[in-house]
Chains A and B, each alone.
Chain A
Amino acid sequence: MRAPGAATRALLPLRYAGRNALARPAATAVTGLGVAIAVMVYVVMAATAESLQGLAARTGDPANVLVTSKGAGSAESSRLDLATARGVRFAPGVARDAGGATLASVEKLDLLRITVAGGDPDAPADQRYTAVRGVTPAALRVRPALRLLRGRLPEAADEIAIGRLVPENLGPLDVGDTLHLRGVPHRVVGVLGARGQFFESELWVPLETLLGALGERQASQVLLRTAGPEAATALVERLESSRQWSVSARTEPEYFARLERASSAFVYLGNLIGALLGLGAVVAGANTLYATMSQRIREMGTLRALGFGRWQVGATLLVESALVAAVGGAMGVAGAALWDGFGVSILGLAFELDVDAASALRGLAMAALIGVAGALLPARSAARLEIVAALRHS
């Protein structure tokens, strides 16, 4: 009778799988590389999609209420007259600072065609559409998550502050450099940072400057700060049903949430590409395994003669495949990790790739799946070997 411990030992030691894998270094390397590439690409694409989605999810403070003109779908197309903008600040529920002033920021948002750093303003290929926000110092006060990393907010008409990730879109820029806005050179005086939020892709100028440059007298939005998420929701209701003001109000996260949908395309694409690469790796793995099996038919027959069951013999192939896939997967994850923090800009939206532990785990799981899937058919073949014929195999 077999003791319980014998069951696990009965799988030949890992050494056997490892040494067999190394006995054919070229085939093992190629198979492992296939897994590595599949895992790396999938993890990086998944991270891209997640970071993009994260932008929408992370931007916005639940204690803030974003007020635009009635019916405006987005801040860029909202036309809020200044009187209304200044008036809603005094709605009940709007927080005040230590000095008693309301925490409210009137802003103008637009999408302008900016010339990249060191680019030719007359060359269309050197232009990029970028979000430009006209602000007052209140803009920082209502956004505690947003910080000045270097320098200060723009005050004079020829000053500009850039989001930390703006260089991903417009090239190398920092405090002291020059950007052109409406033909007027602006000096970069500050760099803003807010981990994974839209604002890191924006250019900030004084409100009056932007209004003047665009020849407009209407703002895009007012951002109102409240005591907390409940107060914010209450304020939203109050403003939406208000007879005094004709505005649209949403909490800031709500406003940005609807932009999340655009990034679902990337999730889908990432999964699709990952699946195809994974399938390719499975096929390559199966091919290698069949080849290695045909070289070891007599060996497997011998193991059967010595008393190993047919599925134990099949399992040796499974272990070998899983081992190679695990190593390949680890390499793939390591490769993907190199991309952590890499800056990407898509249509002016800049973000940093976040390759984290969850991504790594997903990559390893994918590798395991590839290893097992690739081994299924060869292992079954091995299990079905007829002992006598196998022993006679040349």
Chain B
Amino acid sequence: MSARRLVAELARSLPLLARQLRRSPRRTALTFLGLAIAFFLFTSLESVLYTMGQVVQGTAGDALLFMRPAEREGHWLPRLPARYADGLESVPGVVAAAPVRFHVGAGAREGSYAVAVGIEPDAHLAMGLPAGVSGDELRAFFAERRAALVGERLLEDSGWEVGDRVTIAGREGAGGLDFEIVGDIARGDRLDRVAVVSLDYLEDVLGGAGRVTYVQIRVRDALIAPAVAEALDARFAHAAVATETVTEKAHLAPFVGGLADAMAGLRAVGLLALGVTLLVVANSVAIGVRERTREIGTLRALGFGRGRVLALVMGEAVAVAIAGGAAGAAAAWAVFASGSVAIPGAGFAFATDASVVLRSALLAVPLGLLAGTPPGLGAVRIPITDALRHSD
């Protein structure tokens, strides 16, 4: 029974299929509902995993490098001399370089964190503008020392709005960092979860002038990134603080590793749900086959081949699976696309991507095929005469 013939049988039998499904609307509806729930759960979990991946890696491309002190077992917030950023544009392959200082403070909601990123506005301009920042907002940012551009996600999580005067409470033994929000950074930009302020201002409030967390370097092309990184490190090889330049992905790798357990767990739950659903659908189809034993016998007596009957049963399973799977995945998409899925305490909202939803929904096809096979084989195994004699 070649796959092509199977599909052809399927197509020709569509009217019969439709009648089958209508035969017991309640069972079809319940099976559909069960599938929708399972696929909703699976797609939701995959979306959560997707977001977790995004948070930790951002839109991490290999064309962004981080220069940090070359220390084994480094700090989570290291300190590098700010002047290292000077003149790096002269290194071949470097488009722009800018020092960045990270400051982690207490968030607006109890127990949450808010990150402020201090930058040198001119240097950073060469790095590329954050998305969604208008010319006016940029001008306001340059004009006012205590101005900040805040990412949309941080705005949402903290309940802030453009124009507000807010404070990130101090964590480094110093007072709070207050600023006025003059613009927002669009969702999807790598800075959509932080507040961007001027480095000078940050240093004023927190002290420790002259030292930054990293120097960010934008490279012309991801392919030459490793070579450029080497060249940069060679430059400071004999300086007081030697450097280690890595791609953004490498920089964030330890965080991803730390979440590996949790992510594996969530994926396992999703797959378990689909696994059980496969059995449930198989059982449901099997019940249908049992109820239709005489009818199937009649079909076969009339000349329907084993292959056709098998195709009919598998077709029923695939049809319900696709319908339920699509419904569940679509529902998950709708929920996550609204942007309002925020697990309280997680500090950020979960989102999803069309690729995640599609990938999940497509699993319905193999699920349906697998679920339909055992009942289908059972249907063709019974000798025709026995089937005709069968009483309910």
**A362 CB-CB contact with B under 8 Å:** no
Chain B residue with the shortest CB-CB distance to A77: B171
**B172 CB-CB contact with A under 8 Å:** yes
A77 and B73 contacting across the interface, CB-CB below 8 Å: no
**B175 CB-CB contact with A under 8 Å:** yes
State in angstroms the CA–CA spacing of A276 and B282 once bound together. Answer: 20
Residues of B contacting A306 in the complex (Cβ-Cβ under 8 angstroms): none
Residues of B contacting A128 in the complex (Cβ-Cβ under 8 angstroms): 254, 257-258
State in angstroms the CA–CA spacing of A71 and B167 once bound together. Answer: 14
B76 and A287 contacting across the interface, CB-CB below 8 Å: no
Q: Which of A2-10, A88-96, A111-119 contacts B (4 or more CB under 8 A)?
A: A111-119
Residues of A contacting B287 in the complex (Cβ-Cβ under 8 angstroms): 27, 291
Residues of B contacting A83 in the complex (Cβ-Cβ under 8 angstroms): none
**B349 CB-CB contact with A under 8 Å:** no
Partner of A73, one of B105, B276, B346: B105
Give the residues from 53 to 108 in chain A that come closer than 8 angstroms, CB to CB, to chain B: 68-74, 77-79
A72 and B38 contacting across the interface, CB-CB below 8 Å: no
**B343 CB-CB contact with A under 8 Å:** yes
**B351 CB-CB contact with A under 8 Å:** no
Give the residues from 256 to 272 in chain A that come closer than 8 angstroms, CB to CB, to chain B: 258-265, 268-269
Q: If A265-B346, A346-B261, A347-B255 touch, does A290 touch B30 (CB 8 Å cutoff)?
A: yes
Q: Which of A68, A72, A77 has the most CB of B within 10 A?
A: A77
Chain A residue with the shortest CB-CB distance to B279: A30
Q: Which of A13-21, A135-143, A175-183 contacts B (4 or more CB under 8 A)?
A: A175-183
A37 and B276 contacting across the interface, CB-CB below 8 Å: yes
**A209 CB-CB contact with B under 8 Å:** no
Chain B residue with the shortest CB-CB distance to A345: B261
Give the residues from 265 to 300 in chain B that come closer than 8 angstroms, CB to CB, to chain A: 265, 269, 272-273, 276-277, 279-280, 282-284, 286-287, 291
Q: If A79-B173, A169-B258 touch, does A112 touch B105 (CB 8 Å cutoff)?
A: no
Closest-CB distance, B157 to chain A (whole angstroms): 13
Q: Which of A224-232, A237-245, A278-286, A312-320 contacts B (4 or more CB under 8 A)?
A: A278-286
B171 and A283 contacting across the interface, CB-CB below 8 Å: no
Closest-CB distance, A80 to chain B (whole angstroms): 8
A78 and B173 contacting across the interface, CB-CB below 8 Å: yes
State in angstroms the CA–CA spacing of A284 and B343 once bound together. Answer: 28
Residues of A contacting B172 in the complex (Cβ-Cβ under 8 angstroms): 72, 77, 79
B75 and A73 contacting across the interface, CB-CB below 8 Å: no
Chain B interface SS verdict (over half): helix
B40 and A276 contacting across the interface, CB-CB below 8 Å: yes
B262 and A124 contacting across the interface, CB-CB below 8 Å: no
Chain B residue with the shortest CB-CB distance to A48: B265
Chain B residue with the shortest CB-CB distance to A393: B392
**A308 CB-CB contact with B under 8 Å:** no
Partner of A280, one of B37, B74, B110, B291: B37
Chain A interface SS verdict (over half): helix
**B31 CB-CB contact with A under 8 Å:** yes
**A158 CB-CB contact with B under 8 Å:** no
Chain A residue with the shortest CB-CB distance to B42: A276
B345 and A263 contacting across the interface, CB-CB below 8 Å: yes
**B15 CB-CB contact with A under 8 Å:** no
Chain A residue with the shortest CB-CB distance to B70: A183
Q: Which of B127-135, B216-224, B245-253 contacts A (4 or more CB under 8 A)?
A: B245-253
Closest-CB distance, B337 to chain A (whole angstroms): 18
B261 and A284 contacting across the interface, CB-CB below 8 Å: no
Q: If A115-B73, A128-B254, A280-B277 touch, does A37 touch B272 (CB 8 Å cutoff)?
A: yes
Residues of B contacting A259 in the complex (Cβ-Cβ under 8 angstroms): 111
Q: Could you mark each residue 122-135 of chain A with 1 if its beta carbon is under 8 Å from any beta carbon of chain B, else 0? A: 00111111000000
**B34 CB-CB contact with A under 8 Å:** yes
Total cross-chain contacts (CB, 8 A): 173
**B33 CB-CB contact with A under 8 Å:** yes
**B354 CB-CB contact with A under 8 Å:** no
**A321 CB-CB contact with B under 8 Å:** no
**B259 CB-CB contact with A under 8 Å:** yes
B276 and A34 contacting across the interface, CB-CB below 8 Å: yes
B392 and A394 contacting across the interface, CB-CB below 8 Å: yes
B171 and A261 contacting across the interface, CB-CB below 8 Å: no
Give the residues from 77 to 134 in chain B that come closer than 8 angstroms, CB to CB, to chain A: 104-106, 110-112
Total interface residues on A, CB under 8 Å, equals: 69
Partner of B33, one of A129, A262, A283: A283
A112 and B74 contacting across the interface, CB-CB below 8 Å: yes
State in angstroms the CA–CA spacing of A276 and B174 once bound together. Answer: 46
Residues of B contacting A168 in the complex (Cβ-Cβ under 8 angstroms): 261
B41 and A70 contacting across the interface, CB-CB below 8 Å: no
State in angstroms the CA–CA spacing of A289 and B243 once bound together. Answer: 68
Residues of A contacting B246 in the complex (Cβ-Cβ under 8 angstroms): 124
Closest-CB distance, B359 to chain A (whole angstroms): 19
Q: If A113-B76, A288-B283 touch, does A182 touch B253 (CB 8 Å cutoff)?
A: no
State in angstroms the CA–CA spacing of A265 and B254 once bound together. Answer: 22
State in angstroms the CA–CA spacing of A114 and B171 once bound together. Answer: 24
**B169 CB-CB contact with A under 8 Å:** yes
Give the residues from 160 to 219 in chain A that come closer than 8 angstroms, CB to CB, to chain B: 168-169, 180-183, 214
Residues of B contacting A74 in the complex (Cβ-Cβ under 8 angstroms): 171
Q: If A30-B283, A290-B26 touch, does A280 touch B72 (CB 8 Å cutoff)?
A: no
**A369 CB-CB contact with B under 8 Å:** no
**A273 CB-CB contact with B under 8 Å:** yes
**A26 CB-CB contact with B under 8 Å:** yes
Partner of B170, one of A71, A279, A286, A287: A71
Partner of B73, one of A48, A182, A295: A182
Q: If A74-B171, A127-B257, A128-B254 touch, does A183 touch B72 (CB 8 Å cutoff)?
A: yes
State in angstroms the CA–CA spacing of A129 and B74 once bound together. Answer: 9
20 A-B residue pairs with CB within 8 Å: A26-B286, A30-B283, A33-B276, A37-B273, A68-B173, A69-B173, A71-B171, A73-B170, A77-B104, A110-B76, A113-B74, A129-B255, A262-B111, A268-B343, A280-B38, A280-B277, A295-B392, A344-B261, A348-B258, A394-B392
List 10 extra interface pairs beyond A394-B391, A394-B392, CB under 8 A.
A71-B173, A113-B73, A260-B111, A264-B344, A273-B45, A280-B38, A283-B34, A290-B30, A291-B287, A294-B291
Which residues of B line the A interface, CB within 8 A?
A: 26-27, 30-31, 33-34, 37-38, 40-41, 45, 48, 71-76, 104-106, 110-112, 169-175, 246, 249-251, 253-259, 261-262, 265, 269, 272-273, 276-277, 279-280, 282-284, 286-287, 291, 343-346, 391-392
